[in-house]
Structure 1
């Protein structure tokens, strides 16, 4: 059996790949003003720079897990790493906004191939349950650190060397990570389990999400294409549901008794990321284009909102164990909503409100730090026998919510250089706060229903 020391390079490689996947969701945000100026991105370019990555990542997660089960996760992770690394270099070299968006889409595909396989390979190569639990904890902690690191790392790189520097570090990191994965002894493909790749469902899911995001981003400037894209999205979604019902092995095989509760948990997770990533997208532009802060300071100012996520993971887990996953989710959602409402008030303030802003950002982050692990635990509680199903549904919902959130706020807020951008941003934060409160009410309703069911 391989020693802990001999497995360390593989663990570092897989956790490093996972870190890069999540880091690239937010690291580019502070670079958006420079990208817009240098590449003449227009009003929709910044949103597409982010969503071109998020859309394929969200839509292909479930299919990539099935592909790994079919042909072996080692092959899929290698393919994803090569694609991700090459696309990162293309992003850094992009001469136009169109080239950058295309490269970001390839990055998203590579990320979707990497993400499920990194955890699967860690689990498959663990010699015992103790080691497996430790590695899974390490993997989760690395992922929790990626979100707060994104704006800060991005700010440092943009301040030091410009926006292209945001993409270059992924290239040597991926090159180094490839070595231990290539050296890994070939594992048996999981085709023995007769897992099938749900190509039709995956294609329809990609079509649905792409059409929805495109329709939202283009809505302010072109009505007829928006209507056509919306109709295409509805048709693709209906076709996806029909394909899932008829498939022997659906892309998301949710047992009928669990569909309602898993759907509620996924909805809450999706709305959470819709508001969180949409808010982060707005904040980095407000700080740089409205307040004229440099990229590093803009990135550091977002840290109070992002840092509580990894720090509160363990305490939030204990809270959920003590009072229940749904009550804990409700508490986290309401706290996050209060924080976002406070942020809106500071954006509308004419004075220097950075101290108040930091306090409200911390409150928002604390709410997210409680809500995130609690709602993940709620999904796992619904399907305890199939944790992979709950994880796949939750990850897909969160990434989809993030992509939609960025598209929505970009369409409503408009260009950061336009008149009224700050007031519209404040209005969006108020709306996001209300959405969080709505999520809290939804979770409270589920908690009360559970309590009534147990006592009756």
Structure 2
């Protein structure tokens, strides 16, 4: 009798069942990872259509993007510990199911409020899924060389998701409408769910840390209140009562988080011992600045390309390919360069090149041709392609080896947090794209501000990032 999806799922919970081949495990985990990163960029190209279809203003569109990013940033660290404690397979299967349900709800959302809530659900699923994919791949390939090749392929698939997002999003939006960018996830998730249940063996629960629930709740409250303050401040003014309340909540959450993490020590979501390493703090600060500038500027850029320059969604997606393609092409090159000479030089070079590209965007007027935009996109993308592997490697190299997984998770969280805040700040500065003059001035201010932050981050990298990579984590 042929297997059905339900029979595969029932058999999957058996701890004694035989796992699939390592290659099949790698394929399925890469598919899940691809979906998570695809939804970081695929939505941006559809924002003008979402705004038109649901009557959403700039604040609503910011929340559509940030709902996903905030949930992902808030739960990333906790979900890794949950996988250690309850089994990475269970957590990944749960993440796939939640991500699929959120995608379906996004595609059927009748209004902006429901869409934002569904995006949060998507982000929760992504946070459960992302750390577990790498952990499962690591267990499927016990040989060091085979594991390194598998992780390289996993990272390469993730890099391809970034240029694929605007391209696929633009094509789907123009052909089928904005809802298609969410509904396309559903059949892919169903296939990945069934295959994951069939081929992945459940992990053991060695060295399981207690879940830091207070840290997770306080960290989430801090991110939510900070983002709300920026978005509402741009819409209602910084003196509005709701903005002042949000700022007060953010300050209280930050203080509570500091106290809670100090009390928990090594069981903390953010162990204080790691945060006392200047190079580690610098690597994560630079990672946050990188996404703050990139995702914040990208948010207003896609509105500029479509609402001001009146490109279709597909043409807007094609236009930004020179920005995202270098991220996929240069990531391996940047990784090899960092392994030879350390993180400092690639990070400084990447930040300065990206800053030059962002600064060039200030020349783009409403009628600017692609000859003005292309060099800006290319320099911006090349810089980020050099920078990304450098900041990840620096974060891992500056901590003891047994903390490498946590260091990588903290770095990823810093990037997602920076991106969420960047979108909130950029939208507040640029405002509605229905007033082209004000919006254009705001767009230029965002691009130049991001370039300035990148230059400041380059100074930080020059001062604090390691010039060489110490295998003990002390370099």
User: TM-score surpassing 0.5?
Assistant: yes
Report the Cα distance in structure 2 between the residues aligned to 1:448 and 1:6, rounded to whole angstroms.
Answer: 39
Equivalent residues in 2 for 1:240-389, closer than 5 Å: 240-248=257-265, 249-253=267-271, 255=273, 259-345=277-363, 347-348=364-365, 352-385=368-401, 386-389=403-406
Distance 1:425 1:119, change over 3 A: same
Residues 32, 285 of structure 1: 8 Å contact kept: yes
Deviation at 1:254, TM superposition (A): 5.1
Mean Cα deviation higher: 251-260 or 373-382: 251-260
Match of 1:219 among 233, 239, 244: 233
Separation in 1 of the partners of 2:291 and 2:465?
Answer: 22
Alignment correspondent of 1:51: 66
State the 1:125 CA deviation: 1.8
Shift of 1:12: 1.7
Q: Deviations over 1:177-226 (max 9, x none)?
A: 11222124642441x42421111101111111011111110113331101
Gaps of at least 5 residues in structure 2 are 1-16, 470-475
Instruction: Single out whichever of 88-97 and 386-395 deviates more from structure 2.
Output: 386-395
The CA deviation string for residues 254-289 of structure 1, in whole angstroms up to 9 with x for no partner, is 535852211110000000000001111111110000
Equivalent residues in 2 for 1:114-193, closer than 5 Å: 114-184=129-199, 186-190=201-205, 192-193=206-207
Please say if residues 74 and 223 of structure 2, whose CA atoms lie closer than 8 Å, have aligned partners that are also in contact: yes
Secondary structure in 2 matching 1:193: coil
Structure 2 CA distance for aligned equivalents of residues 450 and 83 of structure 1: 41
1:237 pairs with 211, 229, 254, which one? Answer: 254
1:254, 1:389 within 8 Å by CA — same for their partners in 2? no
* Displacement of 1:414: 0.7
**What is the alpha-carbon distance in structure 1 between the residues aligned to residue 215 and residue 275 of structure 2?**
22
CA displacement at 1:114 relative to structure 2: 0.2
How far 1:383 sits from its partner (Å)?
1.3
- TM-superposed deviation, 1:88: 0.4
Task: Map 1:58-97 onto structure 2 (within 5 A).
Answer: 58-97=73-112
Give the deviation of 1:10 after TM superposition.
2.5
How many Å separate the matches in 2 of 1:16 and 1:365? Answer: 24
Query: Shift in Å at residue 450 of structure 1?
Result: 8.6
Determine whether 1:392 maps to 2:409: yes
- CA RMSD in angstroms comes to 2.0
Query: Is the Cα–Cα contact under 8 Å of residues 148 and 306 in structure 1 kept in the other structure?
Result: yes
The answer for the alignment partner of 1:434 in structure 2 is 452
Name the SS of the counterpart of 1:387 in structure 2: helix
Stretches of structure 1 that go unaligned for 5 or more consecutive residues are 452-456
* Native 8 Å contact 1:18 1:114 kept in 2: yes
Alpha-carbon distance in 2 for matches of 1:292, 1:397: 34
CA distance in 2, matches of 1:72, 1:4: 15
Taking structure 2 as the reference length, what is the TM-score of the superposition? 0.90
SS at match of 2:179: helix
Q: Secondary structure at the match of 2:277?
A: helix
Judged with a 3 Å threshold, the aligned counterparts in structure 2 of structure 1 residues 197 and 42 are, in CA distance, closer, same or farther, namely: same
- Number of aligned residue pairs: 447
**Equivalent residue, structure 2, for 1:25:** 40
Secondary structure of residue in 2 paired with 1:163: coil
Structure 1: distance between partners of 2:176 and 2:159: 26
Distance 1:362 1:445 in 2: 27
> Match for 2:439 among 397, 421, 426?
421
Shift of residue 130 of structure 1?
2.4
What secondary structure is seen at the aligned counterpart in 2 of 1:272? helix
TM-score of the two chains, using structure 1 as the length reference: 0.94
What CA distance in whole angstroms lies between the structure 1 residues aligned with 2:300 and 2:418? 15
CA distance in 2, matches of 1:98, 1:379: 37
* Distance change (3 Å), C-alpha of 1:105 and 1:6: same
Q: Are 2:217 and 1:203 equivalent residues in the alignment? A: yes
**Aligned-partner SS, 2:391:** helix
Tell me if structure 1 keeps the 8 A contact 2:293–2:419: yes
List structure 1 segments (4+ residues) > 6 angstroms apart after TM superposition: 2-5, 448-451
Name the SS for the 1:395 alignment partner: helix
- Retained in 2: the 8 A contact 1:253–1:389? no
- Compared with structure 1, are the counterparts of its residues 136 and 118 closer, same or farther at alpha carbon in structure 2 (3 Å cutoff)? same
Q: For residues 449 and 366 of structure 1, what CA distance do their matches in structure 2 show?
A: 21
In the alignment, the residues of structure 2 paired with residue 193 and residue 121 of structure 1 have an alpha-carbon distance, to the nearest angstrom, of: 16
Distance in 2 (alpha carbons) for counterparts of 1:237 and 1:127: 40
Asked whether the equivalents of residues 258 and 383 of structure 1 are also in contact (C-alpha less than 8 Å), the reply is no
**CA deviation after TM superposition for structure 1 residue 101, in Å:** 0.4
Residues 321, 119 of structure 1: alpha-carbon distance in 2 compared, 3 angstrom cutoff: closer
Contact 2:19 2:198 in 1 (8 A): no
